[in-house]
Structure 1
């Protein structure tokens, strides 16, 4: 794989614009090469050897004028400048804006293009350094916050352990607290001073840096109350001093671990229905510290997640630095090749006419000239001395984070701790691919068998066809809706990965547990095989001639399949993608309980999926009706005539849209974003339209209900269509450089977006079949309803890709690549300041 493609594949998707523009710099190098080839003069015999020498001196580095006014530049070896092709100047040491001066530019060979190349190269490098420095400053500030949280956590742990150990051992806890305070202060006072800024920043994490190494780190754990000060290793004993012996003029000692609890409160977040109701009613929350084991476990779990996310940030920043340095190295080597190629061609032309007199000096002169044009060495030396290449803050910080996490959250087991901090990438297993192929083959075979049985037994002309379609077809169509939706989701995952949409981060999946498109297809085709096998088992339309009744066992097949899938979905054991099932169930529960939970993207994304599965929800309603009323014994449905069923039909049809409406109101209340209010009006109009269409169907297509359904559905469709294309997809922008689209697109072919707009518009009008009661001669009414439902599922699948693409691109604009993890404590800094 070429470096350009590898470079793109290793980028953090949310930081794409902050990386060096490698492709554009390659384009500039190609322009330099083209101009040098075009402007290179034809080889002619020189008039004299002295003229050649004079000509060659024009290619030497010019060092007379560029030295003026560079008082801030570091001292440079003048003899070295004579052999350099570029000179790089920094306005303020290694952190300011860098500017490259071309020491010898040949106007006849594309000197203007070389100047443009280095101007863009400096711009890219300054952009990278600025972004990197900004992100490093952010993680350093967050490191200080984690410091404070860890101080409070250690004190909380000591307090809980003190309450649980016998009374005679409580003195050891007090001594342990004093030792922790003394050792922390001693580390601050004995920390070596450095000239650069890194020492002051890195000191923010010294509180969680382990004192000593090796066995000392495990033996001095703050989490074990039974450890006494007398059992500490010698390396630790030497650094511990009484608090009174610390020089307050040099370093003010931090408060003792037990004293810090006087300045913190439990962080209460509105993430449960109870806390949400208390916040809405303005009931004062319980912020007092309760020292018990349950709270300790909760605090430890929250800090553990914070450490994992923080360490992930550090890894991404380190990867960002490494990739950009490597990219600059690669592009400068390409520049050297272009320059040296031009020089070598010129020299070879000259030696062609002077081969005999200059044979002795050929190799020496040629290779000296090649070496003199090595600009990459000079530029990379500047990069190595810059903030990007010379800063070691991240490396030191990562070591401290690893040591603290292993000690406090992994029981001093490095292998366990590093496996949590650095989860391994999910490996694709061949057995999944093999099983998927087997299931696809079985599905196709069952479909062929089903078609042959229907044709051979002439079931379509059977007198019991209508009875079967009205009663059993809605039961089995549920599985078809589910399988098609899962296949569309698998296709979404495939294209998200192909176009590098960071769907795993956007949805908040735990790293290494997200399902790939093969796994989703495996589950969907498994359901398809079970459903088709059940349909074949239930195709017998004949009744018992003696009892004139259908066999109840046969009628229970679809119910048994639904119960089987429900058991698998709710299975608590770690089988069949447990983490994904749990994630799905939690999101479903949040949708049902809206607006009692804080709205996250997975929650409202799933609620949007449910709005396209209204027919599936109605099939579940029919399951309760068909089996609850006992109609399965006679293969009839008398429950649909009851008032309870009619009322529940309105509730089922409106429930997904009501959930989205409540989510929008929750976000409007919390964020104050007026767009959420307008979005809520969209779902309110859809609830009215769906309710009127349901009333029109239940009232035998009355003309009055028809007009009401027409008007409400047209308004809701126009509203939803605009919101899909303009707000959710971000398309139809007036001032976009891509006509009627948006500035940033992931798919190279723009026609795909125009086709998607047209398809979304056409499929939005699938509801017209309900109002027009449009029927096809060779289709049963239930089949037509199923086809319309499938079209809506396909529309939702198309919507999913472009909705997440827009979310991904907007996320890129904000340079947000990390999840926000709440901390367990609120720290009152003002109370701890010295007067």
Structure 2
């Protein structure tokens, strides 16, 4: 792999703009190379063939003493003649400290600008200096940020240790000992600081308990009760804070290494193209700069690791380091193998079902209508689910290709996020089970020997639903338990929307349910079909004739939008964001439109048709504007990319316009209900409803990609690469000098 691609693959996605622009500098070097080639091939610059003297000189050089491979004679630095100097690097002091390290800005003086083509090299060094100053400034700002964060963690650990002493062994507390910050950040949790022996008594000194008088619990802003629950909660929060802080420090360490390597590579490439020796002087400046000499990050890494192992892992270094540095998830070939097997089996089962239906002319049989009214809704539920998972797998694939950090955005634990291969494995496995059940259902009905088992035939879909539910809630560590529990937690937050702080995974999942209204209605049909015993005679008249069933149908369609509206209200109430109030109003307008369309589908009439059409039109305009402008961040008039946004991930801008048009078209799927186009000569009503539902799932899949792209770019704009973890304690005095 070329260095440029390797460099890009190892970047922190949210910090991509802060890295050295290697490709841009490489293009400048290409311009220099092209110019030199043009000059070399011009007739006046063609060189004569080498003379015999040159050849003789080369031969003589072959008989010189071997200089060695280990640089034995390199103790003395060779002196460089002034005639060989190419560049001079100066550290210019500036009035604004934001310009660089301690108010420094590095500038390179190119000494050969008067030579032919020197203007190209002059431009290269100017851009090189700009990139280097950008890297140094960013790194210095981040170091200052982590040092301040370390000081805050230092105070938090003071309070945590004091609380632990108070809770675990109150009698052993030493109120006369006072101890505050007296050195590097996190020194209070350094082993030497905590286990320093007293000169007078042969015992370990303990932390002061005076700090407990000045802190409160962040979750309730109340005074401490010195309970074990408070201690446990504080420990968990601080443990997570240390993990995130350690990850940020590792990002910074890797940032320094990659940029230093990039400057080394680009200077070597410059030497090769120009046949000059300018890399030594420039790389020496890089080593002597803040980027090369600063060791705050390495010191903090050592202290954080030492403190984490001691206070959160009982001194077990292996356990501590495995928690701080989780293993990188690797792709398993067996997943790819089983995906191929399952998809092959799915195709074979589809062919078998088509052949079976065609050979026995089932589409024209008398039981066709009865089958479509009962069995088809039962199995179409799994079709909706498989299609949604496939769309999510496609999203993950393209997020990975374009380096959208979906794992960080969703908040997955490192190493537990599912790749597109694992998601395809789930969807293909579920499709095999569903298609096998459909084929078995057909065979059991058509074969004379199995017609007496009609009850067992009808129970196949219910058994499949029970299997899926049991796998989802299974407590054992199988079938991606971490992801299943993450899904269940988000689902619970959606159900209890007003009572939990709303995070992105919560409202993202709720948005998925707004596109799966038909799946929820099919679940309702399961309850009615099997609960009232209609499966014994394959007749859904009981469900169709019950007025309660139709009322619940409306409620089921409203519930996902109601949850989203409550989430928006909660976010507005918690953050006072006025846009969330408008977002809630959007979902309320959708609720009105859904209710009007559902009533119109049952009771035809011109008045109801006008109400359904007008409410649906208003809701569609509202939703389309919100999708494109608010969720996707597009349609910016003064953008660098006309009617898009300044930063785009996809290289082809036409894809964004195609997505916007598709979003509008698929949003208009409700028109088939308002225009009474609920049946077709060649399609059953339930089949047409399923097709419309599939189109909505596809629209949601497209929406998912651009929604997360916009979220990723927001994180990039703010350089947010790690999660913000709430700390357990708050300090009463503002200066924090406890």
TM (normalized to structure 1)? 0.79
SS in 1 for 2:252: helix
SS in 2 for 1:522: helix
**2:563 maps to 1:659:** yes
Deviation at 1:21, TM superposition (A): 1.0
- What whole-Å deviation, never above 9, does each CA across 1:199-221 have from its counterpart, x for those lacking one? x6xx1221111119xxxx9xx5x
Q: Give, in whole Å, the separation in 2 of the partners of 1:833 and 1:3.
A: 48
SS in 1 for 2:89: strand
- For 1:320, which of 232, 241, 255 is the aligned residue? 255
Deviation at 1:15, TM superposition (A): 0.8
Answer whether contact 1:152 1:257 (CA < 8 A) is retained: no
- What whole-Å deviation, never above 9, does each CA across 1:442-476 have from its counterpart, x for those lacking one? 11111111111111222111111111111111111
Structure 1 equivalent of residue 53 of structure 2: none
Answer whether contact 2:264 2:283 (CA < 8 A) is retained: yes
Structure 1 equivalent of residue 549 of structure 2: 645
- What whole-Å deviation, never above 9, does each CA across 1:792-830 have from its counterpart, x for those lacking one? 001111111111111111221111111010111112235
Gaps of 5+ in 2: 49-77, 94-99
Structure 2 equivalent of residue 53 of structure 1: none
**2:539 maps to 1:636:** yes
**2:586 maps to 1:682:** yes
Deviation at 1:673, TM superposition (A): 1.9
- What whole-Å deviation, never above 9, does each CA across 1:25-62 have from its counterpart, x for those lacking one? 1121222233334456734899xxxxxxxxxxxxxxxx
Q: Give, in whole Å, the separation in 1 of the partners of 2:498 and 2:384.
A: 27
Going from structure 1 to structure 2, the CA distance change for 1:79 and 1:446 (only over 3 Å counts) comes to: closer
Deviates more, 1:114-123 or 1:513-522: 114-123
Structure 2 equivalent of residue 88 of structure 1: 89
Q: Give, in whole Å, the separation in 2 of the partners of 1:823 and 1:404.
A: 17
Structure 2 equivalent of residue 289 of structure 1: 224
Deviation at 1:135, TM superposition (A): 0.6
Q: Give, in whole Å, the separation in 2 of the partners of 1:96 and 1:117.
A: 24
- For 2:707, which of 792, 800, 803 is the aligned residue? 803
SS in 1 for 2:415: coil
Aligned CA-pair RMSD: 2.6
- For 1:698, which of 589, 592, 602 is the aligned residue? 602
Answer whether contact 1:550 1:634 (CA < 8 A) is retained: no
- For 1:754, which of 623, 645, 657 is the aligned residue? 657
- What whole-Å deviation, never above 9, does each CA across 1:201-252 have from its counterpart, x for those lacking one? xx1221111119xxxx9xx5xxxxxxxxxxxxxxx54xx3469xxxxxxxxx
Deviates more, 1:293-302 or 1:495-504: 293-302
SS in 1 for 2:185: helix
- What whole-Å deviation, never above 9, does each CA across 1:489-525 have from its counterpart, x for those lacking one? 0010001001111111011111000011111111111
Q: Give, in whole Å, the separation in 2 of the partners of 1:627 and 1:129.
A: 68
**2:526 maps to 1:623:** yes
Q: Give, in whole Å, the separation in 2 of the partners of 1:380 and 1:649.
A: 70
Deviates more, 1:304-313 or 1:441-450: 441-450
Answer whether contact 1:657 1:687 (CA < 8 A) is retained: yes
Deviates more, 1:329-338 or 1:574-583: 329-338
Structure 2 equivalent of residue 211 of structure 1: 192
Structure 1 equivalent of residue 373 of structure 2: 470
- What whole-Å deviation, never above 9, does each CA across 1:406-441 have from its counterpart, x for those lacking one? 111111111110000000111211221222121111
Q: For 1:167-178, what aligned pairs fall within 5 Å after superposition?
A: 170=171, 173-174=172-173
SS in 1 for 2:442: coil
Structure 1 equivalent of residue 272 of structure 2: 337
Structure 2 equivalent of residue 260 of structure 1: 211
Deviation at 1:549, TM superposition (A): 9.1
Going from structure 1 to structure 2, the CA distance change for 1:410 and 1:589 (only over 3 Å counts) comes to: same
Q: Give, in whole Å, the separation in 2 of the partners of 1:286 and 1:380.
A: 52
Structure 2 equivalent of residue 36 of structure 1: 36
Going from structure 1 to structure 2, the CA distance change for 1:495 and 1:832 (only over 3 Å counts) comes to: closer
- What whole-Å deviation, never above 9, does each CA across 1:601-635 have from its counterpart, x for those lacking one? 11111111111000000001111111122211221
SS in 2 for 1:472: helix
Q: For 1:43-62, what aligned pairs fall within 5 Å after superposition?
A: 43=45
Q: Give, in whole Å, the separation in 2 of the partners of 1:266 and 1:713.
A: 48
Deviation at 1:380, TM superposition (A): 0.8
Q: For 1:8-407, what aligned pairs fall within 5 Å after superposition?
A: 8-39=8-39, 42-43=44-45, 83-92=84-93, 95-162=102-169, 170=171, 173-174=172-173, 188=182, 203-211=184-192, 236-237=196-197, 240-241=198-199, 256-268=207-219, 285=220, 287-340=222-275, 373-407=276-310
SS in 1 for 2:216: strand
Structure 1 equivalent of residue 496 of structure 2: 593
- What whole-Å deviation, never above 9, does each CA across 1:308-332 have from its counterpart, x for those lacking one? 0000000001111111111111111
Answer whether contact 2:113 2:121 (CA < 8 A) is retained: no
SS in 2 for 1:109: coil
Answer whether contact 1:11 1:320 (CA < 8 A) is retained: yes
Q: Give, in whole Å, the separation in 1 of the partners of 2:686 and 2:325.
A: 52
- For 2:352, which of 433, 442, 449 is the aligned residue? 449
Structure 2 equivalent of residue 672 of structure 1: 576
Answer whether contact 1:469 1:782 (CA < 8 A) is retained: yes
Q: Give, in whole Å, the separation in 2 of the partners of 1:428 and 1:383.
A: 37
Gaps of 5+ in 1: 47-76, 164-169, 189-199, 221-235, 244-253, 269-284, 341-372
- What whole-Å deviation, never above 9, does each CA across 1:299-354 have from its counterpart, x for those lacking one? 111111000000000000111111111111111111222221xxxxxxxxxxxxxx
Structure 1 equivalent of residue 689 of structure 2: 785
Structure 2 equivalent of residue 494 of structure 1: 397
Structure 1 equivalent of residue 326 of structure 2: 423
**2:386 maps to 1:483:** yes
Q: Give, in whole Å, the separation in 1 of the partners of 2:544 and 2:680.
A: 24
- What whole-Å deviation, never above 9, does each CA across 1:255-274 have from its counterpart, x for those lacking one? 94322111111111xxxxxx
- What whole-Å deviation, never above 9, does each CA across 1:127-154 have from its counterpart, x for those lacking one? 1111111111111001011111111111
Aligned length: 695
Going from structure 1 to structure 2, the CA distance change for 1:414 and 1:149 (only over 3 Å counts) comes to: same
- For 1:551, which of 436, 442, 454 is the aligned residue? 454
Answer whether contact 2:417 2:483 (CA < 8 A) is retained: yes
Going from structure 1 to structure 2, the CA distance change for 1:88 and 1:449 (only over 3 Å counts) comes to: same
SS in 1 for 2:499: coil
Answer whether contact 1:550 1:633 (CA < 8 A) is retained: no
